[in-house]
């Protein structure tokens, strides 16, 4: 059975979106003849309901060092899983890097969401797809590295060699592209 962890009007950090929001409504999901709700989700006005695992309370964020808390929220643990290829056995895919399997990048803590390719596309260029899987699974760590570089360059421009300043501006531009989801959707609508 589930219990509500957050309450209406509480300010929370929404990990999948990377922004703060206010809980508009606590939504219990009931089952007939059961005394407690089966699960509880939270309506934040962001287009869908969120589970407690996707939210962090403001109090828990303030209890830790700010930089450490931001890193914990920003770094998701994406990983490459090997899935069995149902269409080709190990003997018919001997030229593949991992015969009889293909990569799937899991981007959710519960191992449901992620990235995968159709079997035919994997068969066409398995080394390229393996490379893409490794790139995608390390993207959260590369994003943190780029953010740290951009923050350092912004805070200490006198310590940055002139050759690195264009890279710092490019890093800031990339981060803006990654994190400014709301602004990009507004611009697309106009």
Of 171, 94, 103, nearest to 137 by C-alpha is 103
The residue-averaged pLDDT of 90-111 equals: 77
Predicted local confidence at residue 184, as pLDDT: 47
Predicted local confidence at residue 66, as pLDDT: 41
Give the CB-side neighbour count of residue 19, counting CA atoms within 13 A: 13
pLDDT of 123 strictly over 70: yes
Q: How confident is the model at residue 67 (pLDDT cuts 50, 70, 90)?
A: very low
Name which residue leads in pLDDT, 26 or 32. Answer: 26
From 48-52, 64-68, 72-76, the region with the lowest mean pLDDT? 64-68
Q: How far is CA 77 from CA 12, 14, 34, 54, 122, in A?
A: 21, 16, 35, 14, 24
Name which residue leads in pLDDT, 17 or 128. Answer: 128
Predicted local confidence at residue 181, as pLDDT: 62
Predicted local confidence at residue 72, as pLDDT: 46
Predicted local confidence at residue 85, as pLDDT: 76
Measured from the Cβ of residue 85, the count of other Cβ atoms closer than 10 Å reads 19
Predicted local confidence at residue 62, as pLDDT: 61
pLDDT of 190 strictly over 60: no
């Amino acid at each position: 059975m589930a219990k509500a962890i957050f309450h209406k009007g509480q300010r929370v950090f929404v990990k999948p979106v990377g922004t703060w929001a206010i809980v508009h409504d606590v939504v219990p999901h009931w089952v007939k003849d059961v005394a407690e709700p089966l699960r509880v989700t939270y309506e934040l006005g962001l287009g869908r309901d969120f589970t407690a695992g996707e939210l962090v309370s403001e109090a828990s964020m303030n209890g830790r060092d700010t930089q450490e808390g931001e890193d914990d929220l920003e770094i998701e643990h994406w990983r490459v899983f090997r899935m069995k290829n149902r269409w080709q056995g190990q003997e018919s895919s001997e030229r593949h890097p991992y015969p009889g399997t293909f990569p799937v990048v899991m981007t959710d803590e519960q191992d449901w969401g992620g990235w995968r390719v159709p079997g035919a596309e994997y068969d066409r260029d398995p080394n390229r797809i393996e490379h893409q899987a490794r790139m995608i699974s390390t993207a959260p760590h590369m994003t943190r590295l780029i953010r740290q570089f951009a923050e350092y360059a912004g805070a200490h421009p006198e310590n940055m060699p002139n050759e690195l300043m264009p890279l710092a501006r490019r890093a800031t531009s990339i981060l803006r592209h990654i994190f400014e989801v709301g602004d990009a959707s507004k611009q697309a609508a106009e």
